Amino acid sequence: MENVKIIGTGYATPNQKITNDQLSQVVDTSDTWIQSRTGISSRYISCQENTSDLALRAAQNAIQASGIDPRSIRLILVATLTPDNYTPTVACQVQAGLGLNEQPVMAFDLNAACSGFLFALECAASLLKEGVALIVGAETLSKILDWNDRNTCVLFGDGAGACLIERVQDGSSMTFYARSKGDVDHALYCPDRSLQPDLMNKTEKKSYLSMKGRDVFRFAIQAMPDAIQHVLQGQSLDAVDLMIPHQANIRILEHVSKKMGFGMEKMFVNLDTLGNTSAASVPIALAQAWEQGKIKEGMQVILVGFGAGFTWGACKIQHGKGEDTQ
């Protein structure tokens, strides 16, 4: 358990909204087909902004919401599987965009796919010694989608979410759980460039994301309850005021809700308008829940996610003093 508190959140989405009807002009699908299987009606696709641009906007919005001096930031972690470049990292680009190049900041990227923000949040809470940590989840998944594959292109969207945390003594805390296992069957897979042992450059086709939907579903409905139970540490789920899950598929969320006896009305859902934004999913939902006044002092909130790798994890947030806080 770490005595840290979220002091600000923010998010950013691209300007271009793509509806299911628009997608049906590109690939063999329909609004009815997509909504009945996923719960998604639209998503945002970036045409001009790369991952670092969205990450910077989300970070700026979080800083504005918190009212802090950005020069108090000492740590920047960005979770992404779709960075602008191999190098420099998105985190270093965000640092530069915030005008913090002359400040004593450690900045780096982390890739745990859709669980990335949760992994980054745990790392930041552990690493933070003084000042403020900025944690961002940002993706431009549209760069790696095969627009001829209706099993994947209808699911994903672009966006970024961010939060700021600092160490406190007001009863606030975060309890973490994270786990991974190798995806040997390539259930969620996107290859990179191949080796070049002949010392010659090769012209290669662009790599696209592929997914075995049934395998991912079976994994997700086991991984989410596992992560939730671990951060509860024997506490009743009834004590949780709000759950913010990774926004992958409404069928997954409904299955977990029924399996755990946790009502959908206490689960924050925005996948209908944003789709699956991978590492940006949980922080965007967190920022929107915060913006809508759904998170208040004294509440217990669970963030939970799963993703390629395979990876999964959760974070139980005690926001200010609660009944179980000593």
Distance between CA atoms of residues 205 and 129, nearest Å: 45
The token pair that represents 68 in the structure block: 């802090």
Amino acid at residue number 288: Q
pLDDT at 322: 55
Q: How many other C-beta atoms lie within 10 A of the C-beta of residue 175?
A: 20
> Out of 50, 92, 114, 123, which one is annotated catalytic?
114
Q: In angstroms, how far is the first alpha carbon of the chain from the final one?
A: 13
Active site residue 47: no
pLDDT for 91 equals: 98
What is d(CA 15, CA 118) in angstroms, rounded to the nearest whole number? 26
> Bridge-partner residues for 133, per DSSP?
75, 165
Active site residue 246: yes
| Choice among 246, 249, 315, 319 that is catalytic | 246
- Among candidate residues 50, 276, 315, 319, the one labeled active-site is 276
Cis-peptide, bond into residue 88, ω within 30° of zero: yes
pLDDT tens digits along 99-124: 999 999 999 999 999 999 999 999 99
Q: In terms of pTM, does the model score above 0.75? A: yes
- Contact criterion met (CB below 8 Å) for 308 and 114: yes
111 is catalytic: no
pLDDT reported for residue 279:
98
Q: What is the pLDDT of residue 320?
A: 84
d(CA 226, CA 228): 6
Q: What is the pLDDT of residue 237?
A: 96
Q: What are the angstrom distances between the C-alpha of 41 and each of 37, 44, 149, 270? A: 11, 11, 17, 10
| Cα(90)–Cα(114) distance, integer angstroms | 17
Average pLDDT, the chain: 96
- DSSP 3-state of 52: helix
In the chain, % of residues over pLDDT 70 = 98
Judge whether residue 185 has pLDDT over 60: yes
> Strands 73-79, 106-110: parallel, antiparallel or unpaired by DSSP?
parallel
Residues 126-181 pLDDT 10s: 999 999 999 999 999 999 999 999 999 999 999 999 999 999 998 899 999 999 99
